[in-house]
Structure 1
């Protein structure tokens, strides 16, 4: 009867079903299998060939006359996936998948409409490099 006491639902705050769930995890991975991990979430629904077509579509970029846009936004790509493959996906899921494929969102650096680029370049060339320290000027540690 001592083994039955250890499986008692009120003993140690662990229920019998929880203990039964732990046993295969412990047998498979040892004590590391008992640590809760983040759920993987829903997988992307494109197969290999569809994924290659998607990468090619993103890599070539949109044609304004055909696609009606001058650059791809997530919502436009989600619409293309629905039109071509009948796949309805959220923008967040599509963004996560694009990051998995090592694709990043590129945005232009903002520039004021009246900014003259020539003085800015002269300033960059002639400004002193204040942030570089001379050797031996590091922080002194007290002894």
Structure 2
């Protein structure tokens, strides 16, 4: 006993409209789905409609179900999931504050932050490990520049530097 096929909504777009959209679609998979649904609307069998669009019958069936439920938006690829953030929002706020305050060399911290230094801070503070490459991504995502300021020696003499800049230490 043969089962009746899935019916395709015709209130959203005609086969000609779907073909016109498929010609302008930059994404290949979305274009294939549009063409396959248009072929099926024009009366091709499901197997022929899928083959003509370069896809399997099951993929056409899935596309028809999504088209019936969501309309044209159902034929577009859905975004894939992303990994969870290693640092929570609160931890990211602490990291931003720590970067903006800067290191304190008198407490044994470096003269400027490096990515490995920030990784050690995260490990000590939150007991989470990160590699410098991941820390670089986090720093960029937080809108901070990973460029370092020119390092300044903690025992720098401002008057001597100003005198040197004016040529006060030039040889005779």
Q: TM-score, normalised by structure 1?
A: 0.54
The verdict on how the C-alpha distance between 1:53 and 1:107 changes in structure 2, with shifts beyond 3 A counting, is closer
User: How big is the alpha-carbon RMSD for the aligned residues of Structure 1 and Structure 2?
Assistant: 3.9
**1:34 lines up with 2:76 in the alignment:** yes
Matched position secondary structure for 2:87: coil
2-side partners of 1:75 and 1:29: how far apart?
Answer: 49
2-side partners of 1:106 and 1:14: how far apart?
Answer: 49
2-side partners of 1:65 and 1:26: how far apart?
Answer: 67
Deviates more, 1:45-54 or 1:73-82: 45-54
**Higher RCO (C-alpha 8 Å, min separation 6):** 2
Q: TM-score, normalised by structure 2?
A: 0.46
Matched position secondary structure for 1:80: helix
Aligned to 1:73: 114
**1:6 lines up with 2:6 in the alignment:** no
How many residues end up aligned between the 2 structures?
Answer: 111
Q: Where in structure 1 are there 5+ consecutive unaligned residues?
A: 110-115, 119-143
Q: Aligned-pair distance for 1:85? A: 0.9
The verdict on how the C-alpha distance between 1:19 and 1:77 changes in structure 2, with shifts beyond 3 A counting, is farther
Structure of higher CA gyration radius? 2
CA deviation vs aligned residue, 1:96-127 (integer Å, no higher than 9, x gap): 22112110022458xxxxxx978xxxxxxxxx
The verdict on how the C-alpha distance between 1:99 and 1:64 changes in structure 2, with shifts beyond 3 A counting, is same
Q: Aligned-pair distance for 1:33? A: 5.7
Aligned to 1:51: 92
1-side partners of 2:46 and 2:72: how far apart?
Answer: 20
Pairing of 1:11-22 with structure 2 (within 5 A): 11=51, 12-16=53-57, 18-19=59-60, 22=63
2-side partners of 1:14 and 1:3: how far apart?
Answer: 18
The verdict on how the C-alpha distance between 1:42 and 1:60 changes in structure 2, with shifts beyond 3 A counting, is same
2-side partners of 1:107 and 1:90: how far apart?
Answer: 19
